[in-house]
Amino acid sequence: MNLKPISIIAAVAALISCGNPEDAAQTPAEALLDRLEGLVEEGKIMYGHQDDLMYGHSWKLAEDASEYVQSDVFATAGQYPAVYGLDLGGIEMGWKENLDKNNFDHMRASAIAHHKRGGIVTFSWHPRNPLTGGDAWDVSSDQVVASVLPGGEKHEYFMTWLSNASDFLGSLRTDDGELIPVIWRPWHEHTGSWFWWGQRLCTTEQYKALWQMTYDYMVNERGLNNLVWAYSPGAGELTVPEVFAERYPGDEIIDLVGFDCYCSTNYERYAASMKNALDITKAFAEEHGKLMAITETGHEGLKHPKWWTEVLYPIMKDYPVSYVLTWRNACDDNMQHHFYAPFPGQESADDFKAFAALDQIMFL
């Protein structure tokens, strides 16, 4: 027999992989992507709510809670949101609680509980400012992204932040040790200039390098294979499709594209802004073979009694939107107006039930 060494290696590799079905299995991220694609093909739009199981308009999870069943969405519609959003802000500092006072252990356990219930989890990240020591909204310096890139004065320090975030994302495991997949959405709303990674605070090259560094570290170095990577500009700045494309990190990194768009009481303006962002995102998603979603939206205080079926639903129903996530229901005394999902008795509660009952809209 005159096999070339390379063929022997290939033959041995094939034998090993035949003997171990795990090798051929999908990664958790691939499995989630398949599931998301299947639901879009069925024409379903999943409803999502930020911090849904952590607190609501007038309740907060008990410190010693061991189950995650309370939810303003469930209390109103009798079903849980299909998508559960959480934010890692604060993990970089090694804090026990995130920036909105959610205990990280409860975040982890509730994310796993939601996954077990058949739901999908998404994480955003509002990390503090590694150069100034301020928060994510501290835009006093336009050198922050530069400082965390290789060669920058905060590079080593910032890598410990990525390490902390990776530790958390890699700790999302079921009882039998399997990683649960999540949609991971860092460096969001970068088309605006209100976060330290925003438009005026770094160049296009620096922004893309930040993504590449994040991806290389989490996927290649840490081996996290449970992340579906999402890119989400702010809708307000999407005057032309080029703005959407300008800082796109690349097809090798991104799996899902979306945008964040909020509703004031000017509902026509919201509809116009949403349609514009949906058109741009849809064209981009099709061209690049990616999924699309409305990664953040909502009408603070839900002042329109039929906001769900007469404002939001008509805008998005004809687009292949994977999910639409409304922001959090703050429970702090001074933030009672800051809610984006109804609770029993809220003026849009009946309409929310009607929205949840629509065939196209998916809850759990």
Nearer to ligand BMA, 194 or 217 (CB): 194
- 100 lines the binding site for ligand BMA (CB under 6 A): yes
Minimum Å gap between C-beta 287 and ligand BMA is 30
Minimum Å gap between C-beta 87 and ligand BMA is 5
Nearer to ligand BMA, 285 or 302 (CB): 302
The count of chain residues that interact with ligand BMA, using the rule CB under 6 A, is 6
Minimum Å gap between C-beta 293 and ligand BMA is 17
d(CA 185, CA 319): 21
Nearer to ligand BMA, 208 or 299 (CB): 299
Member of 36, 39, 83, 87 binding ligand BMA (CB under 6 A): 87
Member of 148, 328, 356, 363 binding ligand BMA (CB under 6 A): 328
Minimum Å gap between C-beta 239 and ligand BMA is 23
Nearer to ligand BMA, 99 or 315 (CB): 99
Minimum Å gap between C-beta 328 and ligand BMA is 6
Structure tokens at 82: 């299909």
Nearer to ligand BMA, 185 or 208 (CB): 185
Nearer to ligand BMA, 190 or 328 (CB): 328
Nearer to ligand BMA, 99 or 356 (CB): 99
Minimum Å gap between C-beta 126 and ligand BMA is 5
Distances in whole angstroms, Cα of residue 217 to Cα of each of 30, 144, 177, 363: 19, 19, 22, 34
Minimum Å gap between C-beta 60 and ligand BMA is 15
Footprint of ligand BMA on residues 40-69 (CB under 6 A)? none
Nearest position to ligand BMA, beta carbon: 87
Member of 49, 114, 126, 185 binding ligand BMA (CB under 6 A): 126
Minimum Å gap between C-beta 192 and ligand BMA is 12
Minimum Å gap between C-beta 279 and ligand BMA is 25
Distances in whole angstroms, Cα of residue 82 to Cα of each of 91, 93, 111, 259, 288: 25, 30, 12, 19, 26
- 99 lines the binding site for ligand BMA (CB under 6 A): yes
Nearer to ligand BMA, 309 or 329 (CB): 329
Nearer to ligand BMA, 115 or 328 (CB): 328
Do the strands 59-60 and 55-56 form a parallel or antiparallel pair, or are they unpaired?
Answer: antiparallel
Task: Catalog residues that contact ligand BMA under the rule CB under 6 A.
Answer: 87, 99-100, 126, 327-328
